[in-house]
Amino acid sequence: MTARLREVLHDVAADTPAYPVYEQALATARRHRRRTTIAAGTALVLVALVAVALPPLAGTPAVDPAAGAEAALPDRIDVPPFGSLHATDRPRLGPASVIFTGQAPGLMWGEDGRIIAVVGADSDRYRIIKGGIGTLAGEDTLLSPDGHRVAFGSSEVQIVDLTTTGSRTVTSEVSDTLGTGPAAWSPDGRALVVRDTVRANPQGSAYRTVLSLVWLDGDRRTRLADEYEASISPVAFAPDGARLAFQIDRTVAVTDLDGRRLSSFTLPPDTELAGKGAWSTDGQALTVAQRDGDSWSLRRVDPATGRDLGAMDMPAVTGVTAIRLLGWAAGSARVVAYQPAPETPTAFDRPLAMDSRLGYGNVGTVRVLALDPGAESPTTLLTAPSDIVAIDVADEVIQSGRTRSASPPLGVGLRFWFWTTLISVLIAGIVAYRNRVALALWLHNRRARRLRRPNR
């Protein structure tokens, strides 16, 4: 290298501004930290938006329902939306007015599982519970009198609290049971009648039905009945909660809470204990449902002797597989009417076991009716679409007599929106991370083009 060339290079180097390595390193670090902070903040904002925005999208209040709201019977129900919240999800549902089951799309899970749909006490907030095989609301799946709890189960009894979102298991401590399910709530909700099916011999070719009263606030259990090769249903508590009546095949038995048999009598042909609301409001009489062809009407009997006290001045219900008495509202009977499925080959105008009359495949849908004294025909209070085949209503809702105009939710539920949004955010984050180099280069080029843009 010549001296002249060396001088020229020195002059050029002197005129060239020095690259601020340290300052640029600090700036890069700050920029990286700022981007990380922005990304984390964006994720937190998205989570907050999901928590705040999704409840309105699902038609569900973002806060727990107010206590003391007036419960009422909706005038119609429908299948819960896909992706509905579970009964144990937040925000809490609070008390319910109605539960129902069926075999419509949206009421099944797995191969044979049944969804228990739960409707809020004062508005159309729907929740679901995953029940067992063949679950029937009002028979082996029961809403507590105040609407706060749901009892269900086939291998063991489970209770879900709709107010606290907690759950618990209840056992009757009956050994060798083949299946366990709830049969009735006490009026104060402190006790539950549990029905067990037990092997009657080692081969399992015969069975016994055991009925037990289980107190939920302690370990007290009382054996109410133990019958060989007999069905026991329905079970009805007297209004004061001191006596129970239940049907054993063709016999009605009345016991106290200690299991002492107070009376028993045989029902006439084509007559059934009416349902969980079978006791009169004063506890002086029992109500039975009598079939005449495809028509059902209510009669009163003496709980001590079974003596017929005469027909009630209420309209008959025709064209149904059966009726179940839910309770009373100012002298008016509230019943579930089970409408026959159009395609069923069974004829319901002749003798048939009640479990067949109420079973899946024979029932097409249900209605809740008011049988008012002196009325010419029943008044429809609640309707349901096809394949909703079983229903239970909270006693407090029945006794209040209140009804409301319903608008069941449509579309999809909150769980669908939650998981869709969460999965979308996760996928976007993964894609951004895997393409972070290209993304950084795109941001750098974009910034460079902006810096080269001439000032206007």
Residue 184 near residue 193, CB atoms below 8 Å = yes
Among 366, 394, 395, 397, which residue's Cα sits nearest to residue 382?
366
Classify strands 73-74 and 403-404 as parallel, antiparallel or unpaired.
parallel
Q: What pLDDT digit, counting tens, does each position of 170-201 carry?
A: 988 898 888 999 999 999 999 999 999 999 98
Residue 18 CB contacts under 8 Å (≥ 6 apart), including other chains? none
Confidence bin at 434 (pLDDT 50/70/90): confident
pLDDT on residue 10? 66
Distance of CA 8 to the CA centre of its chain: 88
pLDDT on residue 54? 46
Of 408 and 22, the one with more pLDDT: 408
* Average pLDDT estimate for 277-306: 97
Record the tokens describing residue 416, joined without a space. Answer: 């669908």
Percent of the chain at pLDDT > 90 equals: 64
Confidence bin at 55 (pLDDT 50/70/90): very low
Q: What pLDDT digit, counting tens, does each position of 77-89 carry?
A: 999 998 899 999 9
Among 59, 71, 239, which residue's Cα sits nearest to residue 162?
71
In three-state secondary structure terms, 388 is strand
Residue 400 near residue 72, CB atoms below 8 Å = yes
Taking only Cα atoms into account, the Rg of the chain, rounded to an integer number of angstroms, comes to 33
pLDDT on residue 11? 66
Instruction: For CA atoms 304, 309, 312, 318, give the dihedral sign.
Output: positive
Q: What pLDDT digit, counting tens, does each position of 18-35 carry?
A: 545 545 554 565 565 555
Whether residue 56 is predicted with pLDDT greater than 50 in this model: the reply is no
Among 259, 208, 212, which residue's Cα sits nearest to residue 231?
208
Torsion of CA 75, 81, 83, 87, to 10 degrees: 10
Give the highest mean pLDDT range of 22-36, 226-240, 416-430: 226-240
pLDDT on residue 32? 58
Of 110 and 395, the one with more pLDDT: 395
Q: Hey, how many other C-beta atoms are within 10 angstroms of the C-beta on 89?
A: 17
Residue 244, by phi and psi: left (phi above 0), alpha (psi -120 to 50) or beta? beta
Q: What pLDDT digit, counting tens, does each position of 101-129 carry?
A: 999 888 988 777 789 999 999 999 999 99
Among 100, 165, 157, 108, which residue's Cα sits nearest to residue 126?
100
Whether residue 217 is predicted with pLDDT greater than 60 in this model: the reply is yes
What are residue 19's phi and psi, to 5 degrees?
-80, 125
* Average pLDDT estimate for 62-86: 78
* Average pLDDT estimate for 205-224: 94
Record the tokens describing residue 29, joined without a space. Answer: 């670090």
* Average pLDDT estimate for 339-343: 93
C-alpha 56/C-alpha 136 separation (Å) is: 32
Classify strands 261-266 and 149-152 as parallel, antiparallel or unpaired.
unpaired
Give strand pairing partners of 119.
Answer: 98, 126
C-alpha 179/C-alpha 196 separation (Å) is: 6
pLDDT on residue 244? 98
